[in-house]
Amino acid sequence: MNILITGGSGFLGARLAGALLAKGSLGLAGAAPRDISSITLADRAPPPAELAGDARVRFVGGDLNEQIAAGQLPAAATDAVFHLAAAVSGECEADFDLGMRSNFDATHALLEACRALGSRPTVVFASSLAVFGKLPGQPMPAVIEDFTLPTPQSSYGTQKYVGELLVADMTRKGFIRGRSVRLMTVSVRPGRPNGAASGFLSGMIREPLAGLQAACPVEPDTVVALSSPARTIEGIIRAAEATDEQWGPLTGMNLPALRTTVGEMAAALERAAGPQAVGLLDWTPDPAIRKLVDTWPGNVAAARAQALGLSADTDFDAIVREYIRENPQAVKLPVN
């Protein structure tokens, strides 16, 4: 089996590649598992050394739009595509053209290239909770269900929703077997901050554990829907494995979410690393971040994902412990 991961050198892309390589095989849409013979990682930056050193991994570097236009991607024998590459929310609000090129043009071009293969590859599209949003002057729905009408309130959310619609229609036409999964905010992400408006939901844990000050630009009672990296990858892989009958409607599927508050996240940080860590949080409000966060839903249901055997993280303390266990080199403060 030959797999393509766009954004394959990024945090989630690299983690997905590692999980697939560890599995060794994959059964697409309920078919018998087949050995994974190659994983192509498409990204601007090279993959981590542990991936680059695997003989099954091929790296294609450069701009995704240019790679597709040149016929480099996807390769003729591609069986599955995991489309994770994207400009993030804050970038898309600051630069509309960047978001359209990265999130609309590239997604459209990739789907057309998959269609041109003529082999109906399985395509898993990483959509986002950002397809939902609070309409001005209207209350937020009490619970966001799988079939709640998407009402994005950001360029990023709009671009992701358009991607979902393209995936659904190309699947309906029989060009691809498409699966759109709506990712929750992933926390805790290791490494350097990115341009996502939600980045503080990782930074408020990651930076204090490293002995650094971190911005927490919203009120402690702000409700958020989170997922750990491990649960997120489980959901992405399960989407590729599910049969058409199990998957059901062609619309996007909500991945399971842990409902918590920013204040509860800070309390989990204190339980893990004490008052010194919490003292590094800067609670200065940021009106621009607050404006976006106010449109995000915090109470998300995931009945379809649960029917596939997926579940949310049990609590944020467990997520913090998982981050500490996986990234000991990044933790500078004493932890409990």
Which residue numbers are catalytic? 156
∠ CA 97-110-172, rounded to 5°: 115
Encode the chain in three state secondary structure: CEEEEECCCCHHHHHHHHHHHHHCEECHHHCCCEECCEEEEEECCCCCHHHHCCCCEEEEECCHHHHHHCCCCCCCCCCEEEECCCCCHHHHHHCHHHHHHHHHHHHHHHHHHHHHHCCCCEEEEEEEHHHCCCCCCCCCCCCECCCCCCCCCCHHHHHHHHHHHHHHHHHHCCCCEEEEEEECEECCCCCCCCCCHHHHHHHHHHHHHCCCCEECCCCCCCEEEEECHHHHHHHHHHHHHCCHHHHCCCCCEECCCEEEEHHHHHHHHHHHHHHHHHCCEECCCCHHHHHHHCCCCCCECCHHHHHCCCCCCCCHHHHHHHHHHHCHHHCCCCCC
> 277, 208 in Cβ contact below 8 A?
yes
Tallying the residues shown for the chain, one arrives at: 336
Q: Tell me phi and psi for residue 41, to 5 degrees.
A: -105, 115
Q: Packing angle between helix 262-278 and helix 200-209, nearest 10 degrees?
A: 20
> 44, 82 in Cβ contact below 8 A?
no
Identity of the amino acid at 233:
I
